Amino acid sequence: MKVIRPLVLSVLIAGGFLYFTTYRNGRLHPANWVSPPAKVEITEAAGGDPFDAEEQNNIGVYRKNIASVVNITSRAMAYDFFYGLVPQEGQGTGFIIDKAGHILTNYHVIADAREVWVTLHNRKKYRATIVGTDRAHDLAIVQIKATELVPMTLGDSTNLQVGQKVYAIGNPFGLSGTLTRGIVSSIRQVEEPDGMVIEEAIQTDAAINPGNSGGPLLNWHGEVIGINTMIASNVGQSAGIGFAIPINTAKAVLNDLVTIGRVRRPALGVRTIPIGGELATEMNLPADYGLLIVQAIPGGAAARAGLRGGSERAYLGNIPIMIGGDLIVAVDGKRIDSQQDLAQVMNNHRAGDTVNVTIFRNKKKMDVSVVLGEAREQV
């Protein structure tokens, strides 16, 4: 009996312990658990505007322009050695420039295309007509027949500054309606893969990838300042170096592209050589810079305006040239040091425009008004 009593007492103590730690409230749970709260208490953000000023501007630029950006699909035929003609499809971007349905894009987006299709932001799809092309500037105009189109606002690319904010909207890798942001990294001359040169191209670190070609580059007001055209990359994807054609280059040729389908590229109608300090001293010229007119092409714009080419034979190294002609030092007030400078001025004009050419004839400085002709393989 003495042995049973302690045993029974131990069982009762163990049972009580088990009851209070394991089965209390009718639920099985570990003894060290804390009972769950009736409500989870979290820290929530205070009310107010969820976007700062910079974010609001980003959103505003996107909302203002997204309805004007389109996806362009081009279909072409290529010859395969084994299968003959096979269809190929490419994608790019464009943007609406007027309510008549004209869309600006890159020439290389629609080059050699047999069919061009445009998809709007609302996913409506239209077959497009190629209206005009300008391979030299990598520009093209296509048109769709649609209603209630929203044109973009074309800005001014004249006084762009390195460091200013820019936005790119396009369809990289087919991902429609994508916005990226960066700055103007530089303004420089670049050569495209086909050898064409873009004068004063806008370099940006805004992410530009395949599919962005032909899309708009915007300033912080949401105005178009460039047309995204190419990237510099070893892997074919954004490496932080993209390039856009200045919108002023496009604006100078838009009317020709829409009305006659091609660009009446302006020509001064001269053959020239650049002048530096040593050459100016040897020729006893009144300025140590500029372009010396070797020949005013007969019937050309310069010849009609009375500009004169050389009349005395001389040699530049082993190359025969004609000297004694007018020395061009400025066009429309812009100093001219090289043929590149002259080409940049011409890019802002079209055939039929009048420019003011500042020259030295002998030692006399004078201004001559020249009505630009149309380039036909003239130098």
CA torsion, ordered 18, 19, 22, 25, to nearest 10 deg: 180
Q: Hey, how many other C-beta atoms are within 10 angstroms of the C-beta on 329?
A: 20
Coil, strand or helix at 237: coil
- Reference 133, options 112, 155, 157, 156; nearest CA is 112
| Long-range CB contact pairs, 364-369, < 8 A, 24+ | 365/286, 365/329, 368/305, 368/306, 368/307, 369/305
DSSP states of 93-155 as a string? EEEE-STT-EEEE-HHHHTT-SEEEEE-TTS-EEEEEEEEEEGGGTEEEEE---SS--PPPB-
Coil, strand or helix at 358: strand
Contacts of residue 105, Cβ cutoff 8 Å, sequence gap at least 6: 72, 92, 93, 94, 95, 139, 140, 141, 142, 213, 214, 227
Determine the Cα–Cα distance for residues 315 and 333; give it in Å rounded to an integer.
31
* Residue 74 in tokens: 């081009």
Instruction: Give the residue carrying structure tokens 């806008």.
Output: 202
With DSSP H G I counted as helix, E B as strand and the rest as coil, what are the percentages for the chain, rounded to 5? 20, 35, 40
Determine the Cα–Cα distance for residues 316 and 335; give it in Å rounded to an integer.
24
Q: Which residues pair with 127 in a beta bridge?
A: 117
With beta carbons less than 8 A apart as the criterion, state whether 230 and 243 touch: yes
**Which residues form the catalytic set?**
108, 138, 213
DSSP code for 172: G
Determine the Cα–Cα distance for residues 378 and 372; give it in Å rounded to an integer.
12
Determine the Cα–Cα distance for residues 142 and 149; give it in Å rounded to an integer.
14
- Reference 144, options 115, 171, 169; nearest CA is 115
